[in-house]
Amino acid sequence: MCIRISDTGICPYCITKNLIKNGFTKNKKQQFYCKSCHKRCIDYYSYKACKRNTNAKIIQFIKEGLGIRSIARVLQIATTTILKRIITIAKKIPNPIFYSNKVYEVDEMRCYLKRKDKPIWIVYAIERKTK
């Protein structure tokens, strides 16, 4: 089901009714401008990656162990979109807090990206009891 902004008149970012019309996009969709948060949005999005819960679904599918292409097939969006979203999701993850009185299992993996003289180290630590 598609809820159009022209029907509700509510900004999807700040949930206020301060929207004004702001011309049309290349695809002849009405564009709106919010006077409160100064962001633009269009009447409705055709591409399924623009839905609000897409990032949550990507996180859920990665936890289930699905690959990039299978996530793209299930959500019906492009694989490059999945990769870009994973990078943005990963940048928002805060650094973990390590406590000195707990026991951790640490493992490392050495790999390289494009050049073998610039190795990348991936280190992960799992707290033994809570995992």
Q: Does 42 bind Zn ion (CB under 5 A)?
A: no
66 touches Zn ion (CB under 5 A):
no
Task: Give yes or no for a contact between 34 and 19, defined as CB atoms under 8 angstroms apart.
Answer: yes
Q: In DSSP terms, which residues pair with 21 in a beta bridge?
A: 32
Inter-axis angle of helices 68-75 and 79-92, nearest 10: 110
Tokens of 72: 């793209």
Which listed residue (10, 30, 33, 37) binds Zn ion by CB under 5 A? 37
Binding flag, residue 25, Zn ion (CB under 5 A): no
- The radius of gyration computed from the CA coordinates of the chain, to the nearest angstrom, equals 21
Q: Is 34 in the site for Zn ion (CB under 5 A)?
A: yes
62 part of the interface to Zn ion, by CB under 5 A: no
Contact stretch for Zn ion (CB under 5 A) within 3-11, 84-92, 95-103, 120-128: 3-11
